[in-house]
């Protein structure tokens, strides 16, 4: 199969290229770092010739630095996706795998002892300032128990980046309906591993911790360090893309899959594991927060396992030991 990979020089995209090549596929690359912009219709059109499928990884990622980034996020993520999909429609390419994200959910899944399944709204600044980080039940104000979020959970994006990732899915769904093509969105959870970018406001928390340790500094853990996340190795994510590209996806619709390890950990646990693996200083819990962050979001990836036969191969401890020694990139992912 001949696959166009956008964002092919980035953190995840470069691993996708490696995974596809190892499985005998031919890859065509498109990346802003190499002078090819997914918003350039001519560049997209030239690379779509003869393609059987597209794996769309190109995006501006992360929480960013506030609304000043909004125009750039929308341009790169949503305009770029629209240009790509228009080119695919014209070229007759009918199979798309999209790099989705768990950020479309907002907060994860919660249950209240009195009210069952509930969806808490954004946390109040006054609560965060006072160190009250757990979202209360929106009906009775009592503590909640976090659980695993499924693909059927309503979307509730909490920042500009999250909003653009949801818009990408809507664009892909519209393309699939209009062309009869098949579209798959892999909603990545917290991806980490070799080639992760260092020292940018757009990198993930694992990158921040690793960069601090490389400088001999203690990782700074926000809130109380008990936020739950699903840390999934980039090699497993790359294989999920390859499996999704090879599968017979439903025509005329978008299918979404959570892509996580299935092994929820706290941010504090991750910081400690990475510090131990690096032989660096112990993490420091700062109590600081970022307003756009959610408290807990962890994946139920059973649909991806059951329907496509994918499962993660790199465990948390092994992955952290590898990441402690891995090469990192200096460019934005």
Query: Which residue intervals of 112-233 are DSSP H helices?
Result: 125-129, 160-179, 205-214
Whole-number Cα distances in Å, 21 to 15, 96, 291, 309: 10, 18, 40, 20
Catalytic hit among 73, 161, 192, 257: 161
202 is catalytic: no
CA distance 161 to 175: 21
Give, to the nearest 10 degrees, the angle between helix 234-246 and helix 11-22.
50
CA distance 65 to 155: 22
Q: What is the DSSP letter of 197?
A: B
Residue labelled with tokens 């664009």:
171
Q: What Rg, from alpha-carbon coordinates, does the chain have? A: 19
CA distance 268 to 252: 42
CB 125, CB 83: distance < 8 Å: no
Q: Which two tokens stand for residue 105?
A: 């959910």
Residue labelled with tokens 């965060």:
128
Catalytic residue numbers? 161
């Amino acid at each position: 199969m001949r696959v166009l990979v956008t964002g092919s020089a980035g953190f995840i995209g470069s691993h996708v290229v490696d995974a596809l090549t190892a499985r005998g596929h031919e890859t065509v690359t498109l990346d802003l770092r190499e002078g090819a912009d997914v918003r350039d219709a001519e560049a997209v059109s030239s690379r779509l010739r003869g393609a059987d499928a597209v794996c769309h990884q190109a995006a501006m990622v992360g929480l960013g630095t506030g609304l000043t980034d909004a125009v750039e996020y929308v341009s790169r993520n949503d305009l770029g996706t629209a240009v790509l999909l228009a080119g695919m429609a014209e070229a007759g390419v009918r199979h798309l795998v999209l790099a989705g994200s768990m950020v479309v959910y907002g907060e994860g899944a919660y249950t209240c002892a009195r009210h069952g399944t509930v969806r808490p709204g954004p946390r109040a600044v006054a609560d965060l300032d006072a160190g009250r980080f757990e979202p209360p039940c929106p009906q009775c104000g009592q503590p909640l128990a976090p659980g695993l979020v499924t693909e059927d959970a309503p979307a509730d994006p909490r920042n500009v980046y999250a909003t653009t990732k949801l818009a990408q899915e809507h664009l892909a769904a519209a393309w699939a309906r209009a062309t009869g093509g098949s579209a798959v969105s892999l909603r990545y959870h917290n991806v980490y591993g070799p080639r992760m970018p260092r020292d940018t406001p757009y990198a993930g928390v694992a990158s921040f911790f690793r960069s601090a340790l490389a400088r001999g500094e203690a990782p700074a853990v926000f809130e109380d360090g008990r936020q739950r996340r699903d840390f999934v190795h980039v090699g497993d994510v790359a294989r999920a893309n390859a499996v999704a590209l090879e599968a017979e996806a439903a025509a005329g619709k978008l299918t979404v899959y959570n892509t996580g390890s299935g092994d929820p950990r706290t941010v504090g646990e991750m910081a400690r594991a990475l510090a131990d693996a690096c032989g660096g200083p112990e993490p420091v819990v700062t109590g600081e927060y970022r307003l756009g962050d959610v408290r807990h979001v962890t994946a139920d990836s059973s649909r991806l396992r059951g329907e496509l036969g994918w499962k993660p191969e790199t465990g948390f401890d092994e992955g952290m030991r590898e990441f402690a020694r891995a090469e990192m990139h200096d460019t934005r992912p």
